[in-house]
Amino acid sequence: MTHARPHLHHWIAGEFVAPGDAGYFDDLNPVDDSLYARAAAGTSADIERAVEMADDAFRKYRHLPAAVREDWMVKASALIERDAGAFADVLIEEIGSPIAKAGFETRFAASFLRAAAGVPRRIRGETIPSDAPGRFSMSLREPVGVVAGITPFNVPLIKGIKQSAMALATGNAFVLLPSESAPRVADMLARLWSEAGVPAGLFNVVYGDGARIGDTLTSHPKVRAITFTGSSRVGRHIAAIAARELKKYTLELGGKSPLVICADADIEKAVAAAIFSIFMYQGQVCMGASRIYVERPIFEDFSKAFAAAASRLTGGDLRDSSTMLGPIISDRQRQRVRRHVDDARDKGANVLAGGQWLGNVCEATVLAGVMPEMDVAREETFGPVTSLYPFDSMDEALRLANDTEYGLSAAIFTRDIDKALKFAREAEVGMVHINAPTLHDEPHVPFGGAKASGFGREGTEVDLDIMTEWKWVTIQTGAAGEGGH
């Protein structure tokens, strides 16, 4: 257990930098809102300095051999495994992760780094036939320069590692603006990369209020690419800046993911998958199945079994491996979860399970009779709340599943391969899982969403597109000027 209440300082050019007049902000443990750590409140000047230092480091180290960058990834992965207990402690105490989720996050981060170790040697261009006689023509992939990363509170280790590992593996420098609710994880990342051998200036962290200082980072002329994970509201704002400033960007945003359960499904397996899909980490997961569509012949049976299973979920001791429900992260988020449940109840929805709170923990809540005019029907709740809806045909299930501005993940339970594939092809989402939960990620897959759930994809293969720039290079052989335009 970690008991210290550290004061976290920015990490810029390989040094801890204390805050100026702005002082520190509080980082609270969401279990009881007690003080967990204090972090430097960054200013625009801190961001500017971090970007300048990152740009200097990029120019100094951009030509390091692939083997060196491979070595950072291998070492970082081993360090996460060595310090898995300490990372899990922080994920439990800083953001209220039940230990099962904290363990998953730690293992995924180590696994992502192992996959990223293969990236530096795969940054390849091509030789290209040329129309010009004697012209040798090729393409190179080059790092973009400084990459800005912005992470959400809910998976700060996974996202911090995904973003920074890919930037560093591809030869870039990186500046992280972590979630205000998870600065301690970012402090551990700074120490991790440093110990793994990454030279000063290639990885930097500035803490602070994203709404106040984020624009300085995303609009800085020396930031050439932005990788953002967070809400669709902030994502839209960042996309507008990136468009204006002509920067590359990827956005991993919110969701309202549908889970469709057909009458031929194995109900027991579908119930287990539905429970995991929406209640893992108390529903604070972007891929959470906050809409569950059940074919009418099994609607009653499924609803009863699912509500009963939800009622059995326990909150409380985050270090007990059977705990699925922990606290909701902040007052703002708690109000949002309460508003969605109260609004649905006031407008006539039935609460089949949950609906009550114990401190900052919201019970696993199952709603039925949800109508389109209820907030919970359309908005992302980001809490342990889901709604059950009946459907009568595959076409109706698809229409309902697609009737949302979001498009992150979707899942279907059926034994009918034709239905499953029709759903996979026609669901307007970035990811579809058949006979499996809506929640899944692997390092090398194209992870991401469509519509308001994102722009671009992340993963060790697809990230090459945002983290590198193509360059076309030609060599005229023979007499100069022969052929060509």
By the rule CB under 6 A, 242 interacts with ligand NAD = no
Helix (H) or strand (E) holding 103, with range, is helix 99-116
- Residue 233 sits at φ, ψ, to 5 deg, of -60, -50
- Alpha-carbon distance of 269 to 369, in angstroms, equals 24
Examine residue 27 and tell whether it contacts ligand NAD (CB under 6 A): no
Among 56, 142, 215, 403, binds ligand NAD (CB under 6 A): 215
**Is residue 406 within 8 Å of 431, Cβ to Cβ?**
no
Question: What is the Cβ-side half-sphere exposure of residue 173, based on CA atoms within 13 angstroms?
Answer: 28
Is 362 among the residues known to form the active site?
A: no
Q: Which is nearer to ligand NAD, 299 or 382 (CB)?
A: 382
Stretch that binds ligand NAD, among 97-105, 233-241, 411-419, 477-485 (CB under 6 A): 233-241
Between 89 and 128, how does the x/- string for binding to ligand NAD read (CB under 6 A)?
----------------------------------------
> Would you give the end-to-end CA distance of the chain in angstroms?
68
Q: How many residues bind ligand NAD (CB under 6 A)?
A: 30
CB of 159 to ligand NAD, least distance (A): 6
Residue 411, H or E segment: strand 409-413
**Residue matched to tokens 């109900």:** 267
Is residue 153 near ligand NAD by the rule CB under 6 A?
Answer: yes
CB nearer to ligand NAD: give 177 or 307. 177
Per-residue contact track with ligand NAD, 167 to 196, x per CB under 6 A?
Answer: ----------x-xx----------------
- Pick from 207, 299, 382, 389 the residue near ligand NAD by CB under 6 A: 382
Q: Binding to ligand NAD by residue 231, rule CB under 6 A?
A: yes
Q: Does 154 bind ligand NAD (CB under 6 A)?
A: yes
When asked if residue 210 is in the footprint of ligand NAD (CB under 6 A), the reply is: yes
Residues 6+ apart with CB under 8 A from 94: 27, 29, 36, 37, 181, 182, 184, 185
Cα separation, 99 vs 324, in Å, equals 9
> What is the C-alpha to C-alpha distance for residues 483 and 284, in angstroms, rounded to an integer?
61
- Residue 121: CB atoms within 10 Å: 13
In the complex with ligand NAD, which residue's Cβ is closer, 344 or 439? 439
Distances in Å between the alpha carbon of 275 and those of 335, 344, 379, 454? Answer: 23, 21, 20, 25
Q: How far is the CB of 280 from ligand NAD (least distance, A)?
A: 13
What kind and span of H or E run contains 186? Answer: helix 183-195
Q: Is 380 a catalytic residue?
A: no
Binding mask 263-302 for ligand NAD (x = CB under 6 A): -----------------------x----------------
Asked if 380 interacts with ligand NAD (CB under 6 A), we say: yes
Select 231 or 314, whichever has its Cβ closest to ligand NAD: 231
From 93, 94, 262, 286, active-site residue? 286
CB of 132 to ligand NAD, least distance (A): 45
What is the C-alpha separation between 155 and 288, in angstroms, rounded?
A: 13
Instruction: Identify the three-state secondary structure at position 356.
Output: coil
Q: Which of these segments, 223-231, 309-317, 421-429, 471-479, binds ligand NAD (CB under 6 A)?
A: 223-231
Q: Which of 167, 36, 37, 151 is nearest to 105 (CA)?
A: 151
Q: Could you give the angle at the alpha carbon of 160 between the alpha carbons of 157 and 164, nearest 5°?
A: 140
Closest separation between CB of residue 251 and ligand NAD, Å? Answer: 8
Catalytic-role residue among 94, 105, 252, 380: 252
Q: In the range 383-412, which residues lie near ligand NAD by CB under 6 A? A: 408
Residue 61 CB partners (closer than 8 Å, separation 6+): 171, 173, 199, 202
**One of 161, 234, 377, 385 touching ligand NAD (CB under 6 A):** 234
Q: Is residue 476 at the binding interface for ligand NAD, with CB under 6 A as the rule?
A: no
Euclidean distance between CA atoms 287 and 279, whole angstroms: 11
Give me the residues that bind ligand NAD (CB under 6 A), please: 150-155, 177, 179-180, 210-211, 214-215, 218, 229-231, 234, 237-238, 252-255, 286, 380, 382, 408, 449, 454
Catalytic residues: 252, 286
